[in-house]
Amino acid sequence: MGIVGENEFEQIVEFTWRNTRRECTVLFRNIRELPDSSLQNSSDSWKLVIDFPFDDAGHGPREDLDTLAGPSAADSAVPAFAA
């Protein structure tokens, strides 16, 4: 995919989509631990947040969904498969 800095948790990826150069910020973190500001996108570029595929003991996917349904929910698009 052309993602550089593979040991970083936030990357900027440039690509062509529908014959137009685009930019996407890819954030790979535990959604439950992110502040609302990390879920907001203040630019015209895309933002993709990928949740860790594991949780600490005592935590589960419901907490991730609760974070996504928080105050930032009106400003973001959560795909149906994530809800």
Domains identified in the chain, total number: 1
- Mean of the per-residue pLDDT values of the chain: 77
Instruction: Specify if 2 maps to a domain.
Output: no
Residue 63 has pLDDT above 80, yes or no: yes
Q: Tell me which residue range forms the domain holding 53.
A: 10-75
The predicted structure's pLDDT at residue 8 = 58
Contacts of 20 (CB under 8 A, 6+ apart): none
Instruction: Specify if 82 maps to a domain.
Output: no
For residues 45 and 66, give the distance between their C-alpha atoms in angstroms, rounded to a whole number: 25
Which tens digit of pLDDT belongs to each residue from 28-40?
A: 888 888 887 777 8
Residue 56 has pLDDT above 70, yes or no: yes
- Contact between 43 and 79 under an 8 Å Cβ cutoff? The reply is no
What confidence category does residue 11 fall into, taking pLDDT thresholds of 50, 70 and 90?
Answer: confident
Mean pLDDT of 47-52: 85
